[in-house]
Amino acid sequence: MLRKPVVNGQFYPAEKKDLEEIMEAFKRKEPSKISARAVILPHAGYIYSGKVAVTTVNKVLPKKKIIILGTNHTGEGADFSLWPDGEWQVPNGKIEVDKDLASSILAAGSLIEKDYSAHRDEHSIEVELPILKHFFGEFKIVPIACKPARIETYRQVASQIYEAVKKVKEDVFFVASSDMTHYEPDQAARRKDRLAIDRIVELDEEGLVEKVVQENISMCGIAPVAILLSCVKKLGAQKAQVALYQTSADSTGDYSAVVGYAGIIIK
């Protein structure tokens, strides 16, 4: 099945030439690339969060197998919905779903389910793909849309993924898609986001979930980020670093009500 783009021309340019131009404009020259296990990327329109996402992806070495965990904004589909086959189309090419790895994940447990409906109108995974395609070239993906749940559930989902990934001989790269604080004054957003980012950098998914609740942080991708952290620790991840943090005020100049964007690399 072909998953066609639904936010091209809105969140990012619909034409390949314009898409490449905006990413080249955001790209910084990197003297060397980092061998990473995962990244956390924002998923707003490129004019707002594109610089953070591009800067982050540009710092890491390309990988050929990617599990991409997205936020489920629409409420459609299963709690943890995996698109199991076919291709995803973006303006700069088509990206094949890794059918074998997807099947292995589905067979490893019952929390992640085969489901197309959660992905049809959801932008959080789609927005990352043109950037990954630009920097990584050819690769396969396993897209999973995630709804909020309890920390115990996130860890069980991570275990289901881990059981499949540990059998794969090639490196599997992880992406979690999330924006940070939504529509608060810039100073307040930065303070709250720092509390959450500190927990992410410590690879502390339980502390992250607790901090988001305690501080009422409107981070939309708590589910994909917590699952990613739990899973990559099982695979040996030991450190993380912030590639770039900004708020929408950095592009709009409006500091009254911003959204926060964090690009984080996990090794």
Can you tell me whether residue 171 is helix, strand or coil? coil
* Predicted pLDDT at 31: 85
d(CA 205, CA 228): 9
The tens digit of pLDDT for each residue in 96-132 reads 999 999 999 999 999 999 999 999 999 999 999 999 9
- Percent of the residues in the chain that have a pLDDT greater than 70, as a whole number: 100
CB 69, CB 114: distance < 8 Å: no
* Predicted pLDDT at 231: 98
Amino acid at 34: I
Write the DSSP string, 92-154: TEEEEE-HHHHHHHHHT-SSEEE-SHHHHT--TTGGGHHHHHHHH-S-EEEEEEE----HHHH
Nearest 5°: CA angle at 173, between 84 and 205? 95
d(CA 18, CA 185): 32
CB atoms within 10 A of CB 198: 14
The tens digit of pLDDT for each residue in 20-78 reads 999 999 998 888 999 999 999 999 999 999 999 999 999 999 999 999 999 999 999 99
* Predicted pLDDT at 52: 98
| Domains of the chain (ranges, CATH numbers) | 36-266 (3.40.830.10)
> Which CA distances in Å does 76 have to 81, 89, 118, 147, 197?
9, 21, 5, 9, 28
* Predicted pLDDT at 44: 97
Residue 203, Cα to own-chain centre: how many angstroms? 16
Using pLDDT thresholds of 50, 70 and 90, give the confidence band for residue 171: very high
* Predicted pLDDT at 141: 98
The tens digit of pLDDT for each residue in 180-193 reads 999 999 999 999 99
Using pLDDT thresholds of 50, 70 and 90, give the confidence band for residue 265: very high
